[in-house]
Amino acid sequence: MKFKQILHSFLTLWISCLFISLSHAQAVSRVNDSSITTNTGEHIDGTAYRIDYPDNFNGTLLIGLDYASRQYQSPESQTLLALGYAMAGVTRIVTGWDVEASASNHLTTLDIYNQLHGSPRQTLLYGRSLGAHTGATIVHKYADRFDGALLSCGGLGGAVAIWNSKFDALFIAKALIAENNSELKVMDIPDDFATTTRPAWLELLAEAQQTPEGRARIALAAVIAQLPSWSHPAKPQPNPFDIAALQEGLYDSLAGSPLPTVGQAMSSRNELNRRSGGSISFNTGINYREILQGLDNADIVYELYRLAGLDINADLNKLEQAPRVSADLQALTWIAPQIWDGRLTIPVLTLSNIGDNISAVSAQYAFQETVNQTGSAALLRQVYVNSAGHCSFSPAETVTAINTLIQRLNTGGWEMSTNPYTMNNKAEALDLGPSRFIPFQPEPFARAFDSCDLLELGVQVESSEINNLCSAD
């Protein structure tokens, strides 16, 4: 172990003993036949942590964001604890989109676990949603502390890319549906968004959905943002030839589902603006006509415009003429650690469901491409589930993904383990709910933005390897 690592571990443990033990608590509970020892407390910044250690510990620790807030209560976590996995993690309440701070809290929690229970045989990152996004940062910066990672339902295209995509949806909707409505904020989201701009957006889009013209323009905004045509978990998957059902699905993704994109575009955008000190999103130089032409669902848009009697070229011309938005250098510098170079050194498995409007699967394509460019492709596998909603996985699917990652660690190769038919057979044998793994290839991410793009915009990137890679391109 390097001297720096030894010093880091010593200081972290010393600080943990000095500060965290003041709020440390321990309890014992049961999950099925397992006795679970739980340690809880707070880190220096006030972030809560939780560590659950089963008496039938199988040697593997899973650690990730949100475990301490609600994930420990999920059926997946309860199943994993019963199977002998130790589980640990923190909340996002304090750190939110400050992924660097959250990553530090992950490491400190791991140090506390080691102090309490000794080093596990295997330590795996298990992140969902923002936890997967945070996990990607940890995998690139602190991989020496982990053996592998399962990143579930995360927007792994990098922060600027995924937020450009969400920005596009609202920019297009406002320009074409309510250009002069001052309540409809796209970038400068007010602190009282929950009672002002968010309900205004939802009301506007609900009204627009009642007319053929509104439905066509909603579809245009959603398709260019690469939102899925199926994201409402209570609705059946649309027939691929049912234009009305597909449009309804696009509306659900934007504004009609239990967790619509508009909602996140208000809450998280407000936080990102505050933390970064400006805008991380932009559309200068973006040609929406060209983007639409290259997308799989473009035909849905063209047909809806035909049915509405609208001239799509007129709307695309209007978008071309709409004033553009630029990103702030200060904000891009702050968000830079959340744009990764793709250099993996440990096995990573991503788990995504195709009907996820919050973490659209096209971002997985961008992550794969970034990893491919660095020669790390052998360490990455991506699997997909046919379900709707954000992070809509059954316990069977999650446990199978974790078991598949562990198999990769134990054998040194993926072989056919991530084949959807193989994974379905394993998941069905667990009898823990549906198994819906499918063969799937996401379309290219229209708004891909990587470390080389940061350099082109004048943002200083710490890694000399990134600079060399971009220079070579």
Q: Are residues 74 and 85 in the same domain?
A: yes
Q: Are residues 177 and 326 in the same domain?
A: yes
Q: Domain span at residue 452?
A: 3-157+356-456
Give the tens place of pLDDT for each residue, 303-344.
999 999 999 999 999 999 999 999 999 999 999 999 999 999
Q: Are residues 187 and 325 in the same domain?
A: yes
Q: What percent of the chain has pLDDT over 90?
A: 85
Domain count, the chain: 2
Q: Sorting pLDDT into bands at 50, 70 and 90, what band is 177?
A: very high
Q: Are residues 128 and 83 in the same domain?
A: yes
Q: Are residues 52 and 126 in the same domain?
A: yes
Q: Are residues 366 and 431 in the same domain?
A: yes
Other Cβ atoms closer than 10 A to 22? 9
Q: Are residues 111 and 138 in the same domain?
A: yes
- For the chain, the average pLDDT equals 92
Q: Are residues 133 and 79 in the same domain?
A: yes
**pLDDT higher than 50, residue 15:** no
Q: Sorting pLDDT into bands at 50, 70 and 90, what band is 31?
A: low
In a domain, 345, yes or no: no
Longest Cα–Cα distance in the chain: 70
Q: Are residues 285 and 207 in the same domain?
A: yes
**pLDDT higher than 90, residue 185:** yes
Give the tens place of pLDDT for each residue, 68-117.
998 888 889 999 999 999 999 999 999 999 999 999 999 999 999 999 99
User: Which CATH number covers residue 38?
Assistant: 3.40.50
Q: Are residues 51 and 173 in the same domain?
A: no
How far is it, in rounded angstroms, from Cα 255 to Cα 218? 9
Query: The tokens of 21 are what?
Result: 């033990």
